[in-house]
A and B are shown apart, each in its own frame.
Chain A
Amino acid sequence: MAEAGVKLSLDQKIQLVRDAFAAFQRGDMKALSDAWSDDFVWHSRGSVFGGDFKGKDAAIAAIARYPQELQDIKLDFHDILANDKHVVALVNSSFKRGGKTYQDQIVYIFHINDQGKTTEGWIIADTEMAKNAIEG
């Protein structure tokens, strides 16, 4: 994870992350990508949604696959922590696929720059569960 110091208050950074999640949950991909810097990178490890996606277009395409593949995605914040370089969101998630409901605990990590734009994001999740849900 590269270094990325910022000057926003911790509360401001946390609110930016909350706003971005809200945009995703209402399907507003433009608002989501507006929260990112032009050189945003999305890191998603694992078997089905995995990869390092560089640039807004690639990142949006990767993230848009979640609602395409999974139904009724719910992302509930358990907690959000921030320091001068990172925002970490602990999220209880659930989604449906093929009539079954799956639950997972996910950690999201973000770097936010001085302009209040998110420059990099990581997701740590049980991707095998998602793979099993999709591949049956």
Chain B
Amino acid sequence: MAEAKTTLTPAQKVEKARKALEDLNRGEVNPEAFAEDAVLHGVLVGDLRGRDAIVSALEKQRASYDEFRQEPHAILADEDHTVALVNVTMRRGGQEIKAQQVLVVHANDQGQIREVWAMFDPDATKKLAR
């Protein structure tokens, strides 16, 4: 994980992360939440580079589930990182999977996501990959 100091305060970063998750839970993937050259590292989707690729993948992912909710358990931030501990509920075809997810974010000075690692607990990843 590269270094990524920003001018935002930790509290501002926490609030931006909370807002982004709220948007996602409403089914809205806000492109402005991501820098144009953002990179997403996800265990399910691999490495996605660029805002358009990330937004498209997130929209497809959500569309493939009857429900995909990410409820923040805690959001922590310091000058380098924002970390969200997230309880995820995914429902599709009568099957429900609950999983713990960790999102590790580097933001730019505008508070946009420059790089994000989306980590699931491995057992949930196996279920999701089936």
Contacts and interface: CB of A to CB of B under 8 A. Distances in A.
Contacts of A46: 121-123
Contacts of A88: 76, 83, 85, 102
A125 to B, nearest CB: 8
Contacts of B120: 124
How extensive is the interface on chain B, given as a class?
20 to 34
Given A81-B83, A88-B76, A109-B85, A45 B121 contact: yes
A85 B74 contact: yes
A1 B123 contact: no
Contacts of A86: 74, 76, 85
Interface string B62-105: 00000000000110111011010101000000000000101010
Across the A-B interface, the 9 shortest Cβ-Cβ residue pairs: A46-B122, A45-B121, A81-B76, A127-B122, A107-B102, A45-B123, A45-B122, A83-B76, A88-B83
Given A88-B85, A90-B83, 19 more contacts: A1-B73, A1-B74, A1-B85, A45-B123, A45-B124, A46-B123, A50-B123, A81-B77, A81-B81, A81-B83, A83-B76, A86-B74, A88-B83, A88-B102, A90-B104, A107-B104, A124-B102, A125-B122, A128-B122
